[in-house]
């Protein structure tokens, strides 16, 4: 049990580590797939699949057993509400219940179950809050079945209209609209929530999905925002030549040019702070024969940084950096994605950090490398996030693992932070 | 007409440029495929195809019209013999008549037709030689239909046994032995030549298949030998990670490691003389997703050099060079091919150079980047080669082109060199 004496005005919130772990195990049964070890199965639970619907139904059963009210909006975002002593805007938490096709037992569902644990722990301790508390399960965060991801929070926050997505189909040809209707029909909760209804605040708990916390020996990540992203597709064109006959000095070797371009990119993006993420993940060579000088190379760039100026400066420098390095070849640089960094509310960040300190948990203040529903909810209300470590930083993989004590620690930080926002006496 | 006064004891050999060009056009009809321009068709004439057989038949028709005798050996190497004033070992020339699937009108066939032009020109000038002269069309130099290439010269010279190849099949499942039998049956020439029958000497004319001559403004390449070759397949292994969450410093990025390895390889193989050929033609990345750090890169190395010590020193240094550069990843380096350089007979090289000088043709003394039948014939007798330029160095391509005046110049050098070896009075 975590003692939140200082963090929440003398209130103790009895987070039940075993119950939280058990709830993860129960949810992991929906869509279970083999993992690397017998005790580490994975999960394949696409949005609006039978397993997703079953998970929603189980959550509702748990909520009803506690007397919480349950609501849905027209995109099947699910709201579990514990009443406050007043009828103000709810303070919310949550995440998503869908997974990647070969996903794990923690990505997304942890944020829902940690939120639900907070509600139950408050019940157990007999603590009332001024504002209502809500746990939200956002629809289709992963986007693995219906692209794009973060659809539910995006529509709720007004960043997109539901109509944009209704005709989207999965690879079997099923329309999003039909799968949505079937899910709403199978979910025993009224569709009485409107998009954009205000929250007093929102904090999302999530596994880090990266190795920084584990590497630093930290148990909590106080998340400052979601870093920005710039994606490029680079095409280098040269000329084929015979590897045996054509002198190196007379070649227009697309691979040699791509190599020089990447050298310059590595120099441009070298970061002593190791905050910048720079990745070349795709690299294709044509014609790809050992004794033919390549005439074409196409590679991807994925660059991310939490600071908008840094990201913009580097992204803007990429085309000229490449063009200046390819010698006798030509380069074409196409921007394929660009998203500015976003920062969470400073007061929420401070609140999460303060709660972590009071609990005596080692922590890092860090941006999120991946996107999350909180990135859209931040358009509606003061928002923040709490990260917990996952083993070796592995996620989107059946091997994904987080320790029970870290799940509980994150829930305790969440409880303290939510209590501070929701008010109690 | 080239005046060979000084090069061949006052003898003039009237090389007929138009006839030589016309013979190329007639042969190009067998297997003609569209080229980049209406007047530049390509050729697809696989070994033992109907087109290859038709080309052999036409050559025999021309030979019979001149009164030359025609012979075959059991692998269908074709020998056109112009008698000498004595019955000594023949001085030979030639090349091959098969092409790459998308080949040109000069690779191989030029060496056969230039040789045949020398025979006809000697007839026209009424010049007799002491040794007989032979034009050889070697079977299956390209290896495009039946692997490996240079099969005919390899077997003739004793570097392989014909039995090794009889069960080789093409992609349609046709056995080499059956295609060979059909070709011998369709070719009106006796199979009365034994493998390994000695030549007094051999000189092969060929297009350069590279850009060096054109680049230097030279019209003849005096070929010193065939450079050696070392092939490797390199596998770099790291670990996948999320491009957004995993800090660069904590990655085991197989692409970054491959990039560092290639930087070191480029340094190792930098050659101010531009004699070394170093090519990375194949480069495959796994999993190849833009937002996933690659866990595996596999790339090819094709390295060639005419000097055996240089080639051996560099080839031996490659595994440690790579191993020292891949940081947190691992590297596996496998040798997939290794062939020592070979040098042609110094006296033949000198003879070709002297003939070129006498004709006043600008020339380069150079190794061959590609393999040729002459590389095997050199095991039997003093051997050399004559190169002529091809446009932009392009070969193994429908766009392959050589100028009529260069075809004739090469034939003149060949005539002079062969006359010197065969003797005349």
CATH classification of the domain holding A408: 3.40.630.10
Residues whose CB falls within 8 Å of the CB of residue B133, separated by 6 or more in sequence, listed in order: B81, B82, B84, B90, B91, B92, B93, B118, B119, B122, B418, B422
Residue A356: band (very low, low, confident or very high) from pLDDT cuts 50, 70, 90: very high
Residue B8 lies in a domain: no
Beta-carbon separation of B285 and A282 below 8 A: yes
Residue A297 lies in a domain: yes
- CB contacts < 8 Å between A and B, how many? 195
Beta-carbon separation of B249 and A285 below 8 A: no
Structure tokens given for B199: 């030549």
> How distant is the Cα of A236 from the closest Cα of chain B, in angstroms?
14
pLDDT digits (tens, 9 = 90+) for A75-122: 999 999 999 999 999 999 999 999 988 899 999 999 999 999 999 999
**What is the structure's pLDDT at A425?**
67
- For A220, the domain range is 17-226+342-422
Beta-carbon separation of B277 and A244 below 8 A: yes
Domain shared by B290 and B184, yes or no: no
The whole-angstrom separation of Cα A246 and Cα B211 is 6
Residues 61-90, chain A, touching B (beta carbon < 8 A): none
pLDDT digits (tens, 9 = 90+) for B93-143: 999 999 988 899 999 999 999 999 999 999 999 999 999 999 999 999 998
Residue A7 lies in a domain: no
**What is the structure's pLDDT at A6?**
39
Domain shared by A96 and A113, yes or no: yes
The sign of the CA dihedral B143, B147, B153, B156 is negative
On the question of pLDDT at A353 being above 50, the answer is yes
User: Out of B248, B290, B395, whose CB is closest to A231?
Assistant: B290
Q: Taking CB atoms and an 8 Å cutoff, what residues of chain A touch B294?
A: 280-281, 283
**If residue B339 lies in a helix (H) or strand (E), which one and from where to where?**
strand B330-339
Lowest mean pLDDT: which of A307-311, A363-367, A394-398, B248-252?
A: A394-398
Residue A74: band (very low, low, confident or very high) from pLDDT cuts 50, 70, 90: very high
**What is the structure's pLDDT at A38?**
80
Residue A265 sits in a domain of what CATH number?
Answer: 3.30.70.360
**What is the structure's pLDDT at B38?**
80
Domain shared by B61 and B98, yes or no: yes
**What is the structure's pLDDT at A164?**
95
Lowest mean pLDDT: which of A1-10, A197-206, A285-294?
A: A1-10
pLDDT < 50 stretches in chain B: 1, 3-9
Residue A204 lies in a domain: yes
Domain shared by B210 and B232, yes or no: no
Q: Is the peptide bond before A190 cis (omega within 30 degrees of 0)?
A: no
Which one of B339, B356, B372 terminates a domain? B339
pLDDT digits (tens, 9 = 90+) for A188-243: 999 999 999 999 999 999 999 999 999 999 999 999 999 999 999 999 999 988 89
**What is the structure's pLDDT at A289?**
82
B211 interfaces chain A, CB cutoff of 8 Å: yes
**What is the structure's pLDDT at A40?**
86
Domain shared by A122 and A260, yes or no: no
Structure tokens given for A328: 């006798």
Beta-carbon separation of A210 and B271 below 8 A: no
Domain shared by A140 and A233, yes or no: no
**What is the structure's pLDDT at B106?**
97
User: Out of B208, B250, B281, whose CB is closest to A291?
Assistant: B281
Mean pLDDT for the stretch of residues A350-354: 97
ipTM over 0.95 threshold: no
Domain shared by A268 and A310, yes or no: yes
pLDDT digits (tens, 9 = 90+) for A237-287: 999 888 999 999 999 999 999 999 999 999 999 999 999 999 999 999 998
pLDDT digits (tens, 9 = 90+) for B74-93: 999 999 999 999 999 999 99
Closest CA to B205 of B295, B294, B116: B116
Domain shared by B51 and B94, yes or no: yes
Residue B2 lies in a domain: no
Domain shared by A267 and A286, yes or no: yes
Q: Taking CB atoms and an 8 Å cutoff, what residues of chain B touch A300?
A: 290
Residue B350 lies in a domain: yes
**What is the structure's pLDDT at B341?**
94
Domain shared by B210 and B297, yes or no: no
Which one of A319, A339, A359 terminates a domain? A339
User: What percent of chain A clears pLDDT 70, i.e. is strictly above it?
Assistant: 97
Domain shared by A328 and A206, yes or no: no
**What is the structure's pLDDT at B107?**
96
Residue B307 lies in a domain: yes
Residue A4 lies in a domain: no
Structural domain total, chain A: 2
**What is the structure's pLDDT at A355?**
96
Domain shared by A266 and A131, yes or no: no
Residues whose CB falls within 8 Å of the CB of residue A327, separated by 6 or more in sequence, listed in order: A256, A257, A260
Which one of A339, A354, A375 terminates a domain? A339
Q: Taking CB atoms and an 8 Å cutoff, what residues of chain A touch B300?
A: 290
Helices B17-28 & B109-125 angle (0-180, nearest 10): 140
Residues 212-251, chain A, touching B (beta carbon < 8 A): 212, 215, 227, 229, 231, 241-250
The whole-angstrom separation of Cα B30 and Cα B46 is 10
Residue A3: band (very low, low, confident or very high) from pLDDT cuts 50, 70, 90: very low
A357 interfaces chain B, CB cutoff of 8 Å: no
On the question of pLDDT at A5 being above 70, the answer is no
Residue A266 burial class via C-beta count within 10 angstroms: exposed 0-12, middle 13-18, buried 19 and up: middle
């Amino acid at each position: 049990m975590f003692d939140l004496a200082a963090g929440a005005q003398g209130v103790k919130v009895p987070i039940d580590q075993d119950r939280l772990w058990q709830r993860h195990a129960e949810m992991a049964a929906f869509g279970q797939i083999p993992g690397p070890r017998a005790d580490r199965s994975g999960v394949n639970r696409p949005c609006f699949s039978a397993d997703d619907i079953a998970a929603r139904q189980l959550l509702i059963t748990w909520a009803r057993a506690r007397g919480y009210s349950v609501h849905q909006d027209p995109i099947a975002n699910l709201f579990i509400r514990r009443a406050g002593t007043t009828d103000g805007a709810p303070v919310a938490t949550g995440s998503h219940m869908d997974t990647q096709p070969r996903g794990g037992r923690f990505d997304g569902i942890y944020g829902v179950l940690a939120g639900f644990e907070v509600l139950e722990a408050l019940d157990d301790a007999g603590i009332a809050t001024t504002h209502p508390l809500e746990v939200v399960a956002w629809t289709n965060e992963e986007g693995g079945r219906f692209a794009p991801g973060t659809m539910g929070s995006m529509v709720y926050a007004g960043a997109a209209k539901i109509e944009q997505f209704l005709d989207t189909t999965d690879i079997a040809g099923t329309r999003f609209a039909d799968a949505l209707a079937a899910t709403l029909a199978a979910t025993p909760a009224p569709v009485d929530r409107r998009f954009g209804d205000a929250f007093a605040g929102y904090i999302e708990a999530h596994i880090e999905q990266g190795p920084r916390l584990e590497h630093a020996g930290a148990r909590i990540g106080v998340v400052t925002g979601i870093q920005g992203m710039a994606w490029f597709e680079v095409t280098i064109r040269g000329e084929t030549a015979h590897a045996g006959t054509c002198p190196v000095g007379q070649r227009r070797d697309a691979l040699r040019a791509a190599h020089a371009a990447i050298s310059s990119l590595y120099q441009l993006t070298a970061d002593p702070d190791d905050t910048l993420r720079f990745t070349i993940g795709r690299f294709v060579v044509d014609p790809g024969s050992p004794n033919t000088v390549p005439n074409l190379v196409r590679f991807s760039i994925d660059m991310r940084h939490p600071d908008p100026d840094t990201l913009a400066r580097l992204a803007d420098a990429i085309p000229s950096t490449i063009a200046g390095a390819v010698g006798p070849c030509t380069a074409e640089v196409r921007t394929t994605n660009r998203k500015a960094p976003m920062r969470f509310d400073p007061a929420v960040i401070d609140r999460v950090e303060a709660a972590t300190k009071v609990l005596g948990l080692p922590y890092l203040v860090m941006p999120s490398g991946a996107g999350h529903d909180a990135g859209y909810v931040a358009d509606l209300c003061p928002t923040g996030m709490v990260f917990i470590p996952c083993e070796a930083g592995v996620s989107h993989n059946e091997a994904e693992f987080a320790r029970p004590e870290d799940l509980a620690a994150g829930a305790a930080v969440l409880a303290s932070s939510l209590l501070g926002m929701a008010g109690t006496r």
